Amino acid sequence: MLSQTENIQEHRLVNRLRSYWDRLRETDDLPNILKFNKGNISDIWENCLLIKLVSDGTNKVYNVEYTGRELLSAVGSDLKGKYFSAAGSNDLFSRELISALNNSIEKKEFTLSEGTFPNNKGKIVKYRDCIMPFKDGKGEISVLVVGISWRAF
């Protein structure tokens, strides 16, 4: 169970990211990635992943372009440069993340999810995340920012 302080931080992360995403999208269904500025969320940026959708064929393929420093302990390594797809996902964190990313893309909206996974240090990590999809100049979802709060047991 999360402590009250951790729960406040978690809600703060989700609320801040939701508010920022809503401001960027204004009256559009999705905000354009060109409007995104990590400096506006610099105090929580280290709890985020920046993921690029590199293929939206039958099996979506995702490339992690940034892993926040606060997440390195949770996942056990830097995910930068790693590619993930449902077809090639063999660990629980990747499968759950891919499912949540696919859900956010399908709904074309800010989404929340949660889960648990074992990290490479033998700890069980409980996490909650929020996923913000961004469109490119063609109006297609091309980038997702994922804010994650977590605790290892």
Tell me whether residue 5 is exposed, middle or buried, using C-beta atoms within 10 angstroms of its C-beta: 0 to 12, 13 to 18, 19 or more. Answer: exposed
CATH annotation of 4-152: 3.30.450.20
- Degrees to nearest 5, angle at CA 64 with 58 and 68: 150
**Could you read off the pLDDT of 85-135 as tens digits, one per residue?**
877 666 777 888 889 999 999 999 999 999 898 888 888 999 999 999 999
Residue in the block written with tokens 């959708």: 53
Cβ neighbours, 10 Å, residue 138: 6
Whole-model pTM? 0.87
- Residue 3 confidence (pLDDT): 43
Closest listed residue to residue 60, CA positions, set 113, 114, 101: 101
For residue 13, what are the CA distances in angstroms to 41, 89, 99, 123, 129? Answer: 9, 27, 21, 23, 9
